[in-house]
Amino acid sequence: MHATKPALSAAAGAAGAQLPLSLLMLLATGAGLAVASLYYSQPMLGILAEDIGASARLLGFVPTLTQLGYALGLLLLAPLGDRYDRRRIILLKAGALCAALLLAGASPSVEVLLAASLAVGLAATMAQDIVPAAATLAPESGRGKAVGTVMTGLLLGILLSRVVSGFVAEHWGWRAMFLAAAGSIAAIGAMAWRRLPRFTPTTHLPYRALLASLGGLWRRHPALRRAAWSQGLLSVGFSAFWSTLAVMLHGAPFHLGAAAAGAFGLAGAAGALAAPIAGRLSDRRGPERVTRLGAGLVVLSFASLALAPWLTVQGQIGLLVAASIGFDLGIQATLVAHQTIVYGIEPAARSRLNAVLFTGVFVGMAAGSALGAVLLAQWGWMGVAGLATLSALAALAVRMR
């Protein structure tokens, strides 16, 4: 049934035919649900601490290990998309992610949960096999738009995962959230098995040579280095904010539960609208300009959090909502523009280029989670805001070179 699809897909792209909307929506949904698995735990950390009998500091390693697993998977597994059929890789990772989420939901101790979190991160890299799949299937003239659409799904998955998990955890418990997540991945895997075409490998390098080629790509392409550094620095602040928000809102003066912390994802989800717009702007005006505009918006949004000590509790909540909308808009626009730049460097190495870019992103995410927890404990919310602002300024400086 799938044997003729690769030729048809390649011919369609060469002729400039558009990627079918139904397939594009499947790719966007799959990317969103896969990457959402990385973030379900964040609004549930307060509930998890009480239920599983672990300290907040130890549970802070749950999102950290998930993101480190994702970064490790990007480095070691994502390059395989250039060497093997991407369809097969996506299906295998869907099965592994489903199993890891089931283990997380059944965890009898924090040690098992930490191991499951690392496995979730490794398998959730199926999202980063889906994005280059969309770039490959789309015609060159519409690549930015296609990537932007899939990234909208991915980014909505990141942001709405917190809303969903906060609500589910408060009403049915944190285990129910992991079990429901496993079911969603199983459903996506079944649909991908039916709808995804096969992909012809673009290289026959052995695995070790494939990984070694990542260093060559890094050295050869300054545009790749700038993209990875800039997006990684933006990710430090992004992760520091979201990984500490639930803990901060749980305590004084807010005293809000997991559902309220998760609901902040609705504010940030407005930023996902930037993804298709950024894709079209990148196609028309050039992605470099979009990266500067996006990074500048992130700086302004994080810097505005310095006003919090002079506001009432209600004012502080309003400021957090406004800042989350602003920095999510900027980060997501910048990410789509960076992907447009990177995918145009060497078409035959898209999976490896994507792996390098997103390794930088999720190393930044992991660093942001770890640093954010330390700064929140030592200096409170202003410490987190200061880290986020400085990292965003550094990202803007990279893009202005």
Residue 2 lies in a domain: no
pLDDT of 210 > 60? The answer is yes
Residue 8 lies in a domain: no
pTM (predicted TM-score):
0.72
Q: Which residue has the tokens 């052995």?
A: 206
The encoded tokens of residue 321 equal 């909502």
Cα 193 to Cα 64, 172, 189, 240, 367: the distances in Å are 31, 31, 6, 36, 35
Q: Which pLDDT score is estimated for 259? A: 66
Task: Express each pLDDT in 339-365 by its tens digit.
Answer: 888 988 888 888 889 889 988 887 898
Residue 373: CA atoms inside 13 Å, Cβ hemisphere, count?
A: 18
Q: Which of 5-9, 73-77, 128-132, 160-164 has the lowest mean pLDDT?
A: 5-9
Q: Which pLDDT score is estimated for 87? A: 93
> What total of structural domains would you count in the chain?
1
Residue 4 lies in a domain: no
Residue 218 lies in a domain: yes
Nearest to 132 by CA among 398, 373, 367, 354: 354
Task: Express each pLDDT in 229-262 by its tens digit.
Answer: 999 999 999 889 887 887 777 766 776 766 666 6
Q: Which pLDDT score is estimated for 56? A: 66
Q: How confident is the model at residue 67 (pLDDT cuts 50, 70, 90)?
A: confident
Q: How confident is the model at residue 271 (pLDDT cuts 50, 70, 90)?
A: low
CB 265 within 8 A of CB 159: yes
Q: Which pLDDT score is estimated for 262? A: 65
| Sign of the dihedral defined by the CA atoms of residues 209, 212, 214, 218, in that order | negative
Q: Which pLDDT score is estimated for 230? A: 96
What percentage of the chain reaches a pLDDT higher than 90? 35
Task: Express each pLDDT in 74-111 by its tens digit.
Answer: 889 988 988 999 999 999 999 999 999 999 999 888 88
Residue 227: CA atoms inside 13 Å, Cβ hemisphere, count?
A: 30
Task: Name 5's Cβ contacts closer than 8 Å, sequence gap at least 6.
Answer: 197, 198
pLDDT of 166 > 50? The answer is yes
Residue 329 lies in a domain: yes
Residue 1 lies in a domain: no
| Sign of the dihedral defined by the CA atoms of residues 27, 154, 332, 337, in that order | negative
Question: What span, in angstroms and rounded, lies between the C-alpha atoms of 10 and 63?
Answer: 39
Q: Which pLDDT score is estimated for 223? A: 93
Averaged pLDDT, 129-144: 81
Q: Which pLDDT score is estimated for 319? A: 86
Q: Which pLDDT score is estimated for 75? A: 84
Q: How confident is the model at residue 311 (pLDDT cuts 50, 70, 90)?
A: confident
Q: H or E stretch including 220?
A: helix 207-220
CB 118 within 8 A of CB 65: yes
Q: Which residue has the tokens 């950390």?
A: 45
The encoded tokens of residue 99 equal 């199993």
Q: Which pLDDT score is estimated for 117? A: 94
Name the residue with higher pLDDT: 50 or 100: 100
Q: How confident is the model at residue 315 (pLDDT cuts 50, 70, 90)?
A: confident
Residue 13 lies in a domain: no
Q: How confident is the model at residue 313 (pLDDT cuts 50, 70, 90)?
A: confident
How many other C-beta atoms are found inside a 10 Å radius of the C-beta of residue 50?
8
Mapped onto helix, strand or coil, the DSSP state of residue 202 is coil
Query: Cα Rg for the chain, rounded, in angstroms?
Result: 20
What percentage of the chain reaches a pLDDT higher than 70? 89
Q: Which pLDDT score is estimated for 270? A: 64
Name the residue with higher pLDDT: 250 or 321: 321
- Number of helices (H) and strands (E), helices first, in the chain? 19, 0
Mapped onto helix, strand or coil, the DSSP state of residue 37 is coil
Task: Express each pLDDT in 174-190 by its tens digit.
Answer: 899 999 999 999 999 99
Q: Which pLDDT score is estimated for 298? A: 94
* CATH number of 61's domain: 1.20.1250.20
Question: What span, in angstroms and rounded, lies between the C-alpha atoms of 158 and 148?
Answer: 15
Q: Which pLDDT score is estimated for 194? A: 92
Task: Express each pLDDT in 4-34 by its tens digit.
Answer: 444 334 334 434 456 788 898 999 999 999 9
Task: Name 99's Cβ contacts closer than 8 Å, sequence gap at least 6.
Answer: 119, 123, 182
Q: Which pLDDT score is estimated for 350? A: 85
Averaged pLDDT, 119-123: 95
Task: Name 174's Cβ contacts closer than 8 Å, sequence gap at least 6.
Answer: 41, 44, 47, 48, 51, 165
Q: How confident is the model at residue 226 (pLDDT cuts 50, 70, 90)?
A: very high
Name the residue with higher pLDDT: 333 or 303: 303
Q: Which pLDDT score is estimated for 394? A: 96
Question: What span, in angstroms and rounded, lies between the C-alpha atoms of 45 and 183?
Answer: 22
Name the residue with higher pLDDT: 52 or 150: 150
Q: Which pLDDT score is estimated for 267? A: 67
Range of the domain at 343: 18-400
The chain-wide mean pLDDT, for the chain, equals: 84
